[in-house]
Amino acid sequence: MGRIIFDTAATINGWIADEHDSLSWLFAVPGGETPDESLIPSGAAVMVEGRTTYEWVLRESDILAHPEKWQEFHGTRPTFVFTHRELPVPEGADIRFVSGSVSEALPGIREAAGEGDIWVVGGGDLAGQFLDAGALDELAISIAPVTLTEGAPLFPRRVESDRLHLEEATAVGQFARLRYTVLPARTAS
């Protein structure tokens, strides 16, 4: 069974999207529009994203009119989208809509991933739900030299240092890359 990884970019002050749910701030950073290969989880067999992320991707690249653009980022991997709404699907994309809790959806996601990793692309609250379910194995953040005044927080959960073990800190272009192993929650005795 592969790992479940929340791998994303964030501003120095912890936002993953601005107040309009846009990532335009990220694409303005040198290397932000075409990320270095080392910033993409290489073992990801499946991608998972929330509705807001999915709708932004469709809108930003006009993917419904240009479905070939879906492959540029998502490839042929199955993509699970957590939503309670009916949403359009780009032609040729393997989109699997799920509603309900992460715990309920996790068996199907793991089955689709096989031995590969599961990449939680966004958003932060969805990644937090994976943490709440005890299913998040790794947190990887590419910190951009940007600050925002409001938006979507990186990880809207309180997580103490006893849950995160720093595995790696490197510079990749203008980004500070941090990779943490997520440790199991301690149980009360």
- pLDDT over 90 at 187, yes or no: no
Confidence label for 189 from pLDDT (cuts 50, 70 and 90)? low
- pLDDT over 90 at 41, yes or no: no
- pLDDT over 90 at 40, yes or no: no
Which residues, 6+ apart, have CB-to-CB distance to 141 below 8 Å?
Answer: 7, 8, 9, 10, 154, 177, 178, 179
Q: What is the pLDDT of residue 42?
A: 85
Q: What is the pLDDT of residue 1?
A: 82
44-90 confidence digits (pLDDT tens): 999 999 999 999 999 988 999 999 999 988 889 999 999 999 999 99
- Pick the more confident residue, 36 or 26: 26
155-177 confidence digits (pLDDT tens): 999 999 999 999 999 999 999 99
Return d(Cα 166, Cα 49) in angstroms, integer. Answer: 24
* Percent of the chain at pLDDT exceeding 70: 99
Q: What is the pLDDT of residue 178?
A: 97
